[in-house]
């Protein structure tokens, strides 16, 4: 045990006597000091052979430092065997320049590997057809710019905003004879004799409104109004009494019409008040609804039609004047 350990133990004893440390703390610190490594570590030990003789000699200027646990002297330097000395000298002979060179070569190798790896990735992406932005076709932008330029250079003075060149005589005047010929929904027909021939002395006018079945409304001075149902082939559909007809105008007013009789699948309205009411409604209303209730094979049926005269009126009175009275 070295002198330093004796000094440390003496100081611990003084601290115990002074009451700074208790018994347990003293014993713990004492154990730490005693368990510490030996006070002297040999710089080199003598290497012995199997016969107990050192393999290398001791340098002439070596100084004894201490003895080891076997009683051998430990010197500050040993004269090692020639082969071992040369081997150790070769291992320890690396100069700072060689170390730097070796580090530089290592860095270069790392950089080469990184560059090779990145190049491999780029080549793989190119071969797999990675997402590439297609080249921009400037021809489209050039065409658009050209179109804008051409539009901007249009001479607006070439447009004639005046109405002087318009010939209003070419327009059809509302209510004129030409307007009637073009837009009148009423057509002139003739009653037939027993041979199916037209009777010119018995004309009537008729119009129809489309639906599931077509509603035909006909008028003559002798007959009054006749309501009939026809299919798309023009054939009359069966209709039996009782029959009721309701007109509803666009303002919600209702007009109930009771036909006088039903004959040959047709409902006839001959009461003068009802005839005048229907004529006035047809001539003044452009939009209205018609609801017809009737029997077919003893079963009640109802049908509706939405009427919309594009000309604003059915021109009924004018049709009577031009088609029936002339």
Task: Indicate the pTM of the whole model.
Answer: 0.47
Residue 57 has a pLDDT of: 52
Residue 283 has a pLDDT of: 85
Residue 74 has a pLDDT of: 59
Q: Which long-range contacts (C-beta less than 8 Å, at least 24 apart) are formed by 204-210?
A: 204/324, 205/319, 205/320, 205/323, 205/324, 207/314, 209/290, 209/305, 209/307, 210/305
Residue carrying the six token digits 């340098």: 59
Please give the C-alpha separations between residue 269 and each of 93, 147, 165, in angstroms, as whole numbers. 136, 68, 52
pLDDT by position in tens, the chain (length 326):
566 777 888 888 888 888 887 888 888 888 888 877 444 444 444 444 444 555 445 555 555 555 555 555 555 554 444 444 554 555 455 567 777 777 778 889 899 889 888 888 888 887 765 455 545 555 545 454 554 445 445 455 554 555 555 555 556 566 677 777 888 888 999 999 999 999 999 999 999 988 888 999 999 999 999 999 999 888 888 899 999 999 999 899 999 999 999 998 899 999 999 999 999 998 888 889 999 999 988 899 999 999 888 766 778 888 999 898 87
Determine the Cα–Cα distance for residues 288 and 254; give it in Å rounded to an integer.
Answer: 10
On whether the CB atoms of residues 236 and 265 are closer than 8 A, the answer is: yes
Evaluate whether the domain defined by 181-324 bears CATH number 2.40.360: no
Residue 220 has a pLDDT of: 94
Total number of residues shown for the chain: 326
Residue 133 CB burial class (10 angstroms; 0-12, 13-18, ≥19): exposed
Please work out, in degrees rounded to the nearest 5, the angle formed at the alpha carbon of residue 128 by the alpha carbons of 125 and 133: 70
On whether the CB atoms of residues 12 and 26 are closer than 8 A, the answer is: yes
Residue 80 has a pLDDT of: 46
Residue 165 has a pLDDT of: 56
Residue 93 has a pLDDT of: 53
Domain boundaries, the chain: 3-90, 181-324
């Amino acid at each position: 045990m070295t002198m330093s350990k004796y000094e440390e133990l003496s100081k611990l004893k003084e601290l115990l006597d002074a009451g700074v440390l208790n018994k347990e703390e003293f014993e713990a610190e004492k154990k730490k000091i005693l368990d510490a490594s030996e006070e002297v570590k040999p710089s080199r030990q003598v290497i012995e052979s199997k016969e107990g003789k050192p393999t290398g000699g001791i340098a002439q200027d070596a100084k004894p430092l201490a003895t080891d646990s076997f009683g051998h002297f430990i010197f500050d330097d040993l004269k090692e065997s020639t082969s071992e000395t040369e081997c150790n000298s070769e291992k320890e002979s690396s100069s700072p320049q060689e170390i730097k060179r070796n580090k530089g070569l290592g860095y270069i190798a790392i950089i080469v590997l990184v560059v090779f790896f990145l190049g491999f990735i780029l080549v793989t992406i190119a071969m797999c057809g990675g997402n590439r932005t297609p080249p921009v076709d400037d021809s489209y932008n050039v065409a658009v710019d050209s179109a804008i330029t051409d539009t901007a250079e249009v001479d607006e003075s070439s447009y004639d905003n005046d109405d002087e060149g318009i010939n209003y005589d070419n327009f059809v005047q509302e209510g004129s004879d030409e307007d009637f010929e073009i837009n009148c929904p009423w057509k002139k027909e003739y009653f037939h004799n027993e041979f199916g021939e037209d009777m010119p002395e018995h004309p009537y006018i008729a119009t129809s409104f489309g639906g599931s079945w077509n509603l035909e409304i006909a008028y003559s001075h002798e007959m009054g109004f006749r309501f009939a149902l026809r299919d798309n082939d023009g054939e009359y559909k069966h209709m039996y009494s009782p029959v009721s007809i309701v007109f509803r105008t666009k303002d919600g007013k209702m007009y109930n019409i009771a036909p006088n009789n039903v004959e040959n699948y047709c409902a006839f309205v001959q009461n003068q008040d009802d005839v005048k009411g229907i004529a006035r409604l047809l001539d003044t209303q452009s939009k209205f609804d018609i609801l017809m209730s009737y029997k077919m094979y003893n079963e009640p049926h109802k049908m509706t039609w939405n009427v919309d005269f594009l000309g604003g009126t059915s021109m009924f009175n004018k049709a009577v004047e031009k088609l029936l009275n002339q």
